[in-house]
Every structure is written in structure tokens, then in C-alpha cells.
A and B are shown apart, each in its own frame.
Chain A
Amino acid sequence: MKPAPFDYVQVTSVAEALDALAADPDQSKLLAGGQSLVPMMNFRLARPAVLIDINRADELNGVARDGGRLRIGATTRHLQLQNLGGDDALSSLLRRAAVHIGHLPIRTVGTFGGSLAHCDAASEWCLVARLLDAEISTASRERGVRTIAAENFFQSLFTTAMLPDEMLTAVALPLLDDQHHAGFVEFARRAGDFAIVSAAVLVRTVDGVIRTARVCLGGVSSVPFRSSAAEAVLLGQPWSEDGCAARVSAAAADAAATEVAPTGDMHGSEDFRRDLVRALVPRALAQAADSTRNRMRSR
């Protein structure tokens, strides 16, 4: 379990990284937290000739408010997001998603940008990005700067809209006001395992009625899946302090379970994944209501 031979380059800025990448994009890989790439190299499933380490490019790390958005630098660690302050719906959603990623040592080094670039079907951050219509910024020597909507960014398993000479620099997420209620739940066999199925929901309510609804599911297709059937069920339904009626969330769950077309594998059959969708959608909705309630209470 040792990697094939490679060269190692360390960069301290985005500009240096882009230069290094431009030299031989097809044979190079950016090294962020290394929590996905290094295991793949050890299994010799990935064999880059050059590894470009971006961990010392400080400009890539950090979280900042920028107008109505939260800007997350590519090498922001999972743990930084788990420890994010703020009592708004977005911060609490990020914290709730972050705790599910692997174990503490993985969260200490693994990065937000690395997760999106890696595009694992079970990734928490990919699901969050899709749920919130993230805008993903990339840069390259040849193509300059691009902003790609999450909807178009995740293309298929381990495949994004980025080209080999591009790097992900930052991601912008919309801030969420008090009309928003967000929840994130997942099912894994053991604490810290990749989710078999995950569910993220976001509803916006006005005067106790759901005006917009987002239901995104992980583990049921190669990229995060948006269940428009479940969203249609939720739209226009009443929303109280306790969220929506049990009947409504069950109907939304059913709609989602019917709509998805998962493929089974050794971690979960098609039927089992549908069962999990049915189990998780109501829990995500309940958590959304819960977290709003807690927030209001603590203010």
C-alpha cells in the first residue's frame, strides 16, 4: 500500500498553484487535505506524476461574510466549519453537516474545497452545496476565473465541471434569514462512516406556510439528488413551531422514495436505500423545526 513514485511541489499562493498546474494539467493533482487523494494513491487508483500541495496557500483558507453570502475558501478544514459560530440557520446547518464527516482527525485536515472537487456521492458538503445552490469559483491560467452553479458543478461520480488545469478557489453560500429552516441527517452503519443515504432540507416559511422547499438526497444517485416530488408535496403546507404535520412529512418522504432510482451495492440495496429515504426525510424536516426552535429559545 505505497503510492507509485511522484514529484512533490509546494506552493504558497493561488498564482503559483495555477502556474504549477498549467505545466502539466493531466499528470498533476492538487493536494489539499489528502484524505481522499492519499488513500487513492496508496491503492494506486490515482497515480499523479506531480503533487501540488496547496496547504500553504493561506489565501485559500477561511470563512468570511461577503454581502449576502458566506464565502468559504477551498482549504477551509471541515473542523473550522464544525466550529463555526453564529446562531443563524446557515451556520447551524454547516455545523450539523460537518460532524458527520469521518472522524476528528479527518475533519482536522480534510477540506471543504477538496470534498467538492472530489465529488463523492456520499459527501456531506456536496449535498449542502446542492441544497443551497452554492456558487463555486474556479481559476486557471488558460480559462481565468469561472463561477459554476452547484447544479452544473457535480456531473457524476468523482467528476465535476472543472477541467484538469482548473482549481477550486472558493465557494459562496447564501446567508439564511429567520424565515429559513434547515436540517441535515444521514444514516451510516457506524459513527464516522460515509453515509449510505443522507437527506438535507431547507424550507422558507412566510406566515406559517412553506413558500419554498428544497429536499436534497445523497447516496441515491452518483451526485446529490434534488427531489422535486418531495418539494412539491411540501410547498404551500402549513409550518408551525413543530414543523410540518407528520402526515405531510410522510407524504414528502414517500414522494422522494418513489422518485429516486438508487443503484444497490454492498453497502445498501436499492430497496434499503429507498427505505432510508423514507426514514430520513421526515427526520430532516423535524430537525429543521427543532433547530429553529432552539435558536429562538437561546436568543
Chain B
Amino acid sequence: MACAQTTPTVESTKSQASQAWVGRTIPRVEDPPLLCGQGTFVADIAAGDNCLYAAFIRSSVASGRLVSVTAPPGVHLVVAADLTAKPIRPLLLRPEYVPIDMPILADEVVRFVGEPVAAVFGRTQAEAEDAAEQVQVEIDRLPAVVSVADALADGAPLVHPVHFPTDPNVAIDARRETDGFHAAMKAADRRISIQVSCGRQSAMPMEARASHVSIDRSTGRITLTTTAQMPHVIRTGLCDSLGIPEDQLRVVVPDVGGAFGAKQPLAREDVVLIHVARQLGRSVAWIETREENFLAAWHSREQVYQLTGGFSTDGTLLCLQSEITSDVGAYSCYPVTFGVEALMAMNELPGPYACPEYSGHSRAILTNKCPVAPYRGVARPVLTMAMERLMEVAAAELGLGRVEIRLKNVVKEYPHRQATGFVIDPSSHVEALEQAVAATDFDAHARRKEEAAKHGRLLGIGMSVFSESSGFGTSAFAERKMAITPGYEKVQMSFDPSGNVVLRIGASPHGQGLRTTLSQIVADELGVDPSRVRVIHSDTDATPYGWGTFASRSLVIAGGASKLAGAKLREQIKAIAASMLECDARDIRLRDGNAEVTGTSVRVSIDEIARLAHHNSQLLPEGLDVGLDATATYDPKGTFSNSVHVAEVEVDPATGQTTILRYLVIEDAGVMVNPQIVEGQIRGGVAQGIGNALYEELLYDERGVLTTTSLLDFLPPTMAEVPTIEIQHLETISDFTVTGAKGVGEGGTMGAPAAILNAINDALASTGGAVTHVPATPQRVREAIRQAQRGKEESA
């Protein structure tokens, strides 16, 4: 049965803690400085330092031979030839992956508009830009590959002169198929096909990228202060490129104004900054402009999905075939590679639906455009849209209800092994669907729609059902064959002599509220107030090696490690308390800052214990080390949270404008450590998903020039476009994680495009039009209506 409240395996640690803090909304400790303008961002650090500012000269053509880069005397110009750093080569250890080198600065060849070809420097940003204007770049233009069709055309120019094992410009050509697929497809009563696609997206963090490099005068050590999501891994990549040992470089991440995946990859610009800072023995900063961020800071999601489902007449999905193309731009991103979108797309289908047989084919195709990187949700917003469109079309063709067909096919028995090998842990797909239907009176919408139609108004309702893979450990990433295999998180926890807890983590939160949530987890383990727990992160000098923050992993994995470390420290405290109180450690419990003998008023404060452990080590029980420290590593297999989103929209048939009238999320994230933070993650994600569904698209012209280079042209939704997002929770406790918590960082973005697109198409049903590309802009909606009208006229 779905949603059985499964007993956690870590019973022992769980029952010990009073559970006072986990599950409570407490204010985020991160917020007061940010709200009071007291955050510290890279640009603040640069402004307080007498540093040089860099400006990068970028290619204005999509493909060409770099003839010369020159500047008048007095301009400090750095070009590829001035650098000794090695190119960046992100790797997947898969036969179908074509390794592509990314030079630090374009050398001989430019491959996309925005590719850095040189850097200049000034004492202010304005001076650096003045210098940039004096640089002359001569490029011989070559034919550019601007689309997948261009890339695959006969005789297409090669984006890179390397060997492509299947087709030219195809950098990943991956397939997987279950043994019984063909027989199942043949046997299916109905084969139903759909196609959906997604425009290029920018994660568009409010703060663009920024870096500041300083050199320690006495040691020559380098400190890079930057907007990164993976400080430790970035250090590895930079040191490999620069040929220096890792202890020479410290990477620090201060406050970050949003990242969403776009700050996960190594920035080639950072290598140039380090080079120049070392050369001049002087600090250097680069504050990326919005225009550069659009041009060169990683795009995403330009994908096309063709799905064919084999159904039985009662609507059971028997098998699924996918054909996926991802336009990945001109380079691969370090460390995760351009495989992320293409491979995730292929491997995470069919989402939350049980489907025994599957055949997938996914290609990553190189073009002369900005490279892609993960963006919150990665391929899942689009694959969810594809799957949910298939369900809508299949329901219509089979004469079934839209809810009915989903109820029939969602996974119901847990754990459930998908055809691609993913194991879905205890979830609540059926309950979530039922709750969503009840909360929105889904089935009665048809009446509301009919009523509105009498007044010429088009209403529609749409839903999306999905699982959010999260908290994946080493084993999952190893399966992807990443040369650098992320997964575990390690934490170091210690008490200082005053009884405060210091928790050092390898994760690198940048807005997720992890300092707050980890302090809640630790507080419960140690019986202290969360305000006594300080979390240190995002500094390679001060934290254990770790993978940073991405892929809805930090609360699950760093949170799990924190819980485990807390349990170890708890035992140490108990042992000390037992010796101080002359009782058995098993009779001690930690609560409200004290170690007390259960059932009595005999207690000693944890502060006293901490002081003793440091200052009176002669009193420590036999076998205990001085101080109070513990280290723990957590490396789970992965867990799935699950959701249903419902969007109700009105489409203005005359203008094509979509207005969201109601938006509901049913979310099951397992144990919610801090409900408000969970809801914040969902709301932010849905806002981005609304952008994806209706507003945001990066557009290139036929010569490969990006035309959407400012916020006049690339339109994220504002407060005025984002409706109230209603959220209801389910809480299935999974034994796949030690905290019972599941990741919830990306679900919002994953569900919104599908729900909204389905709602729009429901509204358009009476016109005969349908939109299958997002963003579903007013113009696209109008085109769909016009096309349907033309079709009707022609057939009349």
C-alpha cells in the first residue's frame, strides 16, 4: 500500500531525540543580515579592496577563426597565448561520450557568441570597460551550426574537429532498452505518440557570476572568493588546469545571490583571474554583467522529446519509447559534463509511472551556442512535460479521464524498481493525486469551463504528477560513469569549551537555509537549542572535502551526516555525564541543554560537560579523547519525493495571453525539517517553472547571435505574474534516508511547465489548437489558434 508510514531503520537514533526542533518552522538564521543589507557578496569584497577589475572581450561571432587580438600600448591585455593553464576537459567514462576540451581563452577558433577571447584590466569596472573598447579583435567568420537540424545536416561543419563515433556533432548517443520492449510494443492495443520541446533557458540568478582573487604575500597562497556551488570540486578543477597542488588554493564562497545550477560549473574566467593575480601579485576581481551572464554563463533545457506509449485499451501503460535530443552548445561543463541533461532525460523516464518495458535513445548535439549546464530540475521539467502530455493525449484518445489514467499508472507498491533501474522509495502518488483532485474540485472544472465559454472565455485546468529524484549518493553517480563521482557528504562536529556546537560541512548552501535546518537536526540530536549550533561551509580551508550544493542533496546528505555525527557526540556527552553523575550512560538523556538522569531531576549542563572535556581532561572517563569532536559521512542511495501540481488558467483567445487563476502543489517531501523552508523551495521553484512555461526563452538569430541579452528581452516572471501558490503536504517517511527527509529543491520547477501547458491545452480544446513548445507565449498560443482555424476552414 502506498504511503504506509514506514518505520525508519535508524530507530535507535530517532527515538532518543526529543524531536523538538525538526518539523518546526523557525525563522531562517540566514535572513536578518540579508534583509538588512548586511550580506557580503563578492562585489562587496572587491569594493573593499584595492583590486584590479577584469573585463572580458568576447566573441561576437558564432564560429570563426581568430586572426588577431590587439590593443594599444597601456592596455593590459591577456590572450590565450599568455596563459600556460591547461584546457578544461570534463569527463564521463562512457564509450558514447565524446570528450571535448574547453580552452581557458579561445585559441585560434571561436565557437559561440560570448566565448571569452581576451581579458583587460582597470582600476575600476568602468576603466576596465574603457580598456575593453580599445581592443581590436579580428575573426574570420566560418559557417555556424545554430540548431540541431544544422548540426545533423549532411556536410554540416564540425563544432569540434574530433572523432564522433556515430554522427558528426553528436557528442553523446546513448541508448537503453529492456529485453521485452519490442514484444510489448507490438502487443499493445494502442500506440500513442506525442512531441514536446522546450526553449533555451537561463537560470538567471539575480547576482551574476563574480570572483575575486587575492594572493597571500607571505606564502603566495591564492584565495579565490567566488560564486560557486561546489567550492571543493572547483578547486580541484582549477588546480588541475593551473598545475598547482590543491593546498595552494583556497576557495571561499560568501553570500550568493542565487545559483540554480548555473554556478555549479567551473568558470574558465577564474583561471585567467588567478593567472593575472599571481603574475601581478595583486588582487583581481571580475563582476560579470547581466549581458555576459546571458551570453556565456551556461544555458539549459533546449530539448525535444518524442514519446510513444504502448497502452492497453483500459489505459495501462505497457511500454514507452523515447527519442530525445538536447542542444548542448559548444563545450562540456566541468565537472558534470553536458551529459547531465541528455542522460537524465533518458534515464528518469517514465517518471512516477510504472512501465515495465522501455526503450530510450538520447543524443547530446553540439552547436555554436553557449554551453549548457544543469539548471534547477535539469531535464526533469521537460521530461515531466513530455510524460504528462502523453497522459493527456492518451486519456483523450482512449476515452478515459485525465485523473483516471494517471491513477491507473502511477507507482503504487514501494520500493519500486523502474525499468531504468531507479528504485522509488515509499511515496504517496495515489494519495497526492486524490488530494489534488479533491482540493481543486478537478472533476467539476468542466462545468466552470462550460459556464465561462458562454461568455467567450477560455478556462483550462491541468496537472502534473512526478517524482523528484534527490539525495543521490556515490553509487548513483558512479552508475552515470562520471570521472569525478560526487555523492557522499562528510561533516565535522565539535563543541567549543563554552558548549556551542560548530558544524563544518562540505555542502555549500547559497540560499537554501541549510544553516537553519542543520542546526535543527543537530539540536535534536544533542538536546541543545539550535541557536547554539553554528554551521561553517563554503570555505575549503575550513570544511571537509565535499560536493557542494546541487541536485536537492544537501539536506538529505549533509543533514544525514550531521545526524550521524550528532549521535556519536551524544554518546560521548552521555559517557562524560554518566561519570560526572555516577550513573549508567544508558540512563542519561540530553534535553534543553542538559544531560539528565531519566526520571530524576539530577542533571549536569552540557556547557559544563564541554568545558570539562577541554579544560579538565584528567576527569574524562577512560577511553575518551579530549574535547568533543565527531566526524561522520553519509552516502545514501537516493530518495524520491513526489508531487502533484494543478494549474487553473484562463487563456485570452484574442491575445493568446495566459493568466494563472489558481496554482496548487501537493508535496510529499517526507519529514519536513522546517516546513517554511520546504515551502520556500517549492514557491521559488514554481516561480521559475512559470517562467519556463510562459515567459523565458533565450533566442539566437540565424547567424548564431544571441538576441535576448538583457532583461528587456528575457522575461522572468515578477511578483505580478506569480500567483499565490497553495501548498499541501503529505509526509511519507522513507527508510531510504536517516532523517526521513527527502530532497525538495527542484520539484517546483519540474511540475510547473507540465501543469501549465496541460491547462493551456485544456483551455484551447474547443479551438482545436494545441501548444507543445514552452514557453507557451501569447504569440505561440495565437499561432496555435490560427492554425486550427485554418485547418477547419480548409476542411470545410
Residues of chain A whose beta carbon lies under 8 Å from any beta carbon of chain B: 1-5, 43-44, 187, 189-194, 266-269, 271-272, 275-276, 278-279
Contact = CB atoms under 8 A, between A and B. Distances in A.
B124 to A, nearest CB: 8
Contacts of B779: 268-269, 272
Contacts of A191: 718, 720-721
A4 B126 CA distance: 7
B216 interface: no
Contact of B720 (A1, A192, A194): A192
Contacts of B786: 271, 275
B717 A44 contact: no
A190 B654 contact: no
A272 B126 contact: no
Contacts of B124: 2
B130 A189 contact: no
Interface of B: 124-126, 129-130, 133, 289-291, 652, 654-657, 695, 699, 707-708, 710, 712-713, 715, 717-718, 720-721, 777-779, 782-783, 786
26 contacts: A1-B289, A1-B290, A3-B126, A4-B133, A5-B126, A5-B130, A43-B291, A44-B133, A189-B778, A190-B715, A190-B717, A190-B718, A190-B720, A191-B718, A191-B720, A191-B721, A192-B720, A193-B715, A266-B708, A268-B779, A271-B783, A271-B786, A272-B782, A275-B654, A275-B655, A276-B655
Interface SS of A by simple majority: loop
A272 B657 CA distance: 12
Contacts of A272: 656, 778-779, 782-783
A187 B658 CA distance: 12
A174 B138 CA distance: 56
Nearest to B655: A279
Contact of B695 (A1, A43, A189): A189
A193 B710 CA distance: 13
Nearest to A189: B715
Given A193-B715, A269-B779, A272-B782, A187 B130 contact: no
A179 to B, nearest CB: 29
Nearest to A268: B779
A192 B715 CA distance: 11
Contacts of A189: 695, 715, 777-778
A138 B770 CA distance: 53
B288 to A, nearest CB: 10
Contacts of B707: 266
B713 A266 contact: yes
A187 B657 CA distance: 9
Contacts of A276: 655
A43 B294 CA distance: 14
B295 to A, nearest CB: 13
B130 A4 contact: yes
A187 B715 contact: no
A190 B713 contact: no
A112 B124 CA distance: 34
B656 to A, nearest CB: 7
A192 B782 contact: no
A272 B717 CA distance: 21
User: Which one of A3, A193, A271, A279 has the greatest number of beta carbons of chain B within 10 Å?
Assistant: A279
Contacts of A187: 655, 657, 778
A102 to B, nearest CB: 11
A191 B718 CA distance: 8
Contacts of B291: 1, 43
